[in-house]
Amino acid sequence: MAVRPLRIGPDGWVDGIRHVRSPNCDARPAGVAVELLILHNVSLPPGQFGSGCIDRLFCNAPEPRAHPFLALLAGLRVSAHFLIERDGGTTQFVSCRQRAWHAGASTFEGRAGCNDFSIGIELEGTDFVAFETAQYAALAQLARALRSALPLRAVRGHSHIAPGRKTDPGPLFDWDRFARQAGLPALWLP
């Protein structure tokens, strides 16, 4: 069965996926093109999947009493444009036209502040557990849609733009598999 391609509307929201609006975003600087796709991994609490805690974190409601680790996140204001869960379900939190707060202190090709010119995609996972087939399929489909709608020219992991500070998407992320499925040219990859 053919998968229906995703479409990004003029408002920067992707049709056909779940939307949960995060307040943790703002306007991109005027005249700055979206050129970079940044891949992350996240699990909340650490190593646990399907808890709903990621949604709550991105919406500033992490429920700190639910787990001791979540208490450490109280007051943290972060987001990403997208989350791809273990089953491939995809949620959009921030319009592609806006700046999500996912990269922090970061640099790409000598340019600081990668949030200004990037799209952030969180994969539900850790550095220690392989990603699921459904996640690669959803990521490839989303990357194809983003590539056709935006002037993207590269994909990097959080570890590439914040070395020494971040390790995601981690050593178990299969860059070749992702590139093959998404139809990305080799020069796009780290």
- The 10s digit of each residue's pLDDT in 28-43 is 999 999 999 999 999 9
Which residues are identified as catalytic? 122
Q: In the structure, how many helices (H) and strands (E) does the chain have?
A: 5, 12
Give a yes or no: residue 1 inside a domain: no
**Whole-angstrom distance, CA of residue 6 vs CA of residue 60:** 28
Give a yes or no: residue 154 inside a domain: yes
Tally of structural domains, the chain: 1
Give a yes or no: residue 177 inside a domain: yes
Give a yes or no: residue 28 inside a domain: yes
pLDDT band at 136; cut points 50, 70, 90: very high
Give pLDDT, residue 1.
44
Tell me the CATH number at 115: 3.40.80.10
Over the stretch 154-178, which tens digit does the pLDDT of each residue have?
999 999 999 999 999 999 999 999 9
**Whole-angstrom distance, CA of residue 71 vs CA of residue 137:** 34
Provide the domain limits for residue 15: 7-185
Give a yes or no: residue 41 inside a domain: yes
Residue 173 tokens read as 């992320």
pLDDT band at 3; cut points 50, 70, 90: low
Give pLDDT, residue 68.
83
pLDDT band at 2; cut points 50, 70, 90: low
Residue 163 tokens read as 């070395």
Give a yes or no: residue 2 inside a domain: no
Average pLDDT of the chain to the nearest whole number: 94
User: Residue 136: phi, psi to the nearest 5?
Assistant: -60, -40
Give a yes or no: residue 21 inside a domain: yes
Give pLDDT, residue 6.
94
Residue 38 tokens read as 């940044």
Burial class from Cβ neighbours inside 10 Å (0-12, 13-18, 19+) for residue 13 reads middle
Give pLDDT, residue 110.
97
Over the stretch 96-134, which tens digit does the pLDDT of each residue have?
999 999 999 999 999 999 999 999 999 999 999 999 999
Region at 97 (left for phi over 0; alpha for psi -120 to 50; beta for the rest): alpha
- Amino acid present at 58: F
Give a yes or no: residue 22 inside a domain: yes
Contacts for 90 with CB less than 8 Å, ≥ 6 apart: 14, 17, 18, 82, 83, 84, 138, 142
Over the stretch 59-89, which tens digit does the pLDDT of each residue have?
998 787 778 888 888 888 999 999 999 999 9
